[in-house]
A and B are shown apart, each in its own frame.
Chain A
Amino acid sequence: MQARYLPYVLIAPVSVFLGLFFLYPFYLVAQTAFYDGAGWSLKNFQEVTSYWKFPISFKNTLWLAAVVVPIQLALALLMATMVNAMKKGRDLVLYIWTIPLGISDLAAGIIWLAIFEQSGFLNSMMHGLGFIDRPTALISYQNPALIFVAIALAEIWRATAIMLVILVAGIGLIPKEYYEAAQVFGAGRWKQFVRITLPLLRPSLSTALVLRVILAFEVFAVVQALGGTLFPVLMSETYAYQFELLNGGAAASVALIILGISIASTIVILRVLRVPKGATI
């Protein structure tokens, strides 16, 4: 086989797979969303956006992503640099840090619920240490801020590792010569990080951010476990439309709205962290 065909042959199976299991279902979902039983219309979109909970769930989803992702980015960068500077035990630390990745998000939500609920670990501990007289319900409709904090904590705990793994790989690719040159010119650790690591990490950063931001807009199981119906997000609206109201059209249109936000944010991230054509690391 000629070498120039090889790449196409190699990506063919993936393309077929994506076409069959992503593009075709996507087409069906779009069809469901824009069809109202009689013809093409925006009726489904009007229905879901006029529902009183829609603005709340829209705001919650964006807020959660806006708070969680930057914290995760900072943490992942810090952890990746630390791992990279380690001489011994690097693999062990990486394994331990990535354990939460192996846990399903619903299980992660339930773990954190076991911590925060009325007879949970946090309450028992504070009670045992004498900080509080009796266990109180922490996650309740009276404490919306605490629900938000609990969900954000669970998300940070659960999904920082996915960024970490990508960034560790990215940092490993940066040639050591740059750092040596920087040391020769007397640059400190911080300066090296800002001037060498960050700029050269751009491709990995954009991959990690795109992945993480998309997942943040799809957040569902953790929220469901911790917030129940108190913290509506877009994905829980989709679920409710599909499985409680059996309204596939409305569910499909919320799904398309989530897709729209994801595409918009992906474009922004890719533009901001663009590596100019011709530039290499």
Chain B
Amino acid sequence: MHRIVWAPLLVLAACGETTDDRPLELDYLTQAIFAPTCGATQCHSGFTQQGEDVFDTPEATRASLVDNGLIQFNSTKYDPDSPGKADLIIWITETVPFGGATVGEDGKPIGRMPYDAPMPNKDVLLLKEWIAAQAPGAQCNPDANKGTPAEGKACNNKEVVECTPDWNFGPRVQLCSGDCVAGTCL
């Protein structure tokens, strides 16, 4: 009888293939990575909102990534060219991010994220691939630069572009001869 009880539970062992067919898409990344790993109750959930970052819905995730500069598309820091240097990736891969320059309320450097448990390397790799693909779904904030000539615009490297309502790059507005920062040619 005991074997009958336990056997089905032990049958479900881990398995897996090497082909990574996961979509490079913000909703998926939120559901599978950001929400369970970063958006835990006592961390970056809407409930707690540590550091004003929230990762438990796609809307909150894109706002945190874009508005807090965790992924940047200015020509002075164009993360798709070097995903490993995106602030998001630095936070989740370096033991003392930014050399300890970012400190918490207690004045101590904030350590690697997630704070309570490591993130799998393959999830970090998938996030890097997504950033290299220009982070669709979290490219810009259409409400950025309110009340300025750059309202609703963003930089995509050297280009000033429209920002669409779904937080993606729209049509090109201008090609900058110099740098592009915050939707404006410098």
Partners in one complex: no
- A interface residue numbers (CB < 8 A to B): none
Chain B positions within 8 Å of A, measured between CB atoms, are: none
